[in-house]
Amino acid sequence: MFSRVFCAIFMSLTLAACSACQPNLNSSDTSENEASEEEYPFATWEECGQNFGDHPCNFTLKDQLGNDRSLYDFYGDTIVIDFSAMWCGPCNAAASEVQEVKDAYDSEGFTYITVLIENSAGEPPSESDCAYWADLYGITEPVLAGDRSLIDYSSQNGWNITSWPTFYFVTDEMVLNTSLKGFSSSWINSLIEDTMEE
């Protein structure tokens, strides 16, 4: 009995996520996320989706340096997209390992994108929030200022984010391979390697 309880507690902590802090559904006009077929072959909403096996819909957001960064800028790399909130404990734990993960897979064509959905006050993050996050955790990878308009529980016009952090793993052919809700170092590394093999 004790071992079952201990195991359950351990698994809960290992895959910790702020699932009680679910985001509100907030749909918005998706026209901002559209891109030309010449620039990004699978980036228009008519040809993309956030379900596994889909080419994810493109987004363009400001990074910690004030530059516009698009998901499809990293076409050809295996990509982890980490959707986080600055007030979330497991998100902070994940952020502390971003650069280590990037460095481990850097020679294999790998990009780790953090998309902050909320700052510490629960508001959409600013460029300075993204810069603070990157500086705090020594992240050289893109830290992007998102908001709740990126969320859609149906995965049709946005990302199915029901807990913090939520990770999506994208192949070098820009295909959504899998996701992970909650933070686990070992699972992240395992899913990166699985995605690289796809």
CATH of the domain at 189: 3.40.30.10
| Residue 79 to residue 74: CA distance in whole angstroms | 8
| CA angle 24–183–125, rounded 5-degree value | 45
The CB-side HSE value for 48 (13 A sphere, CA atoms) comes to 26
Domain that holds residue 148: 2-197
Domains identified in the chain, total number: 1
* Cα 28 to Cα 86: distance, rounded to the nearest angstrom: 22
* pLDDT, tens digit, 9 for 90 and up, residues 78-129: 999 999 999 999 999 999 999 999 999 999 999 999 999 999 999 999 999 9
Q: Looking at the predicted structure, is the pLDDT value of residue 142 above 90?
A: yes
133's tokens: 């996050």
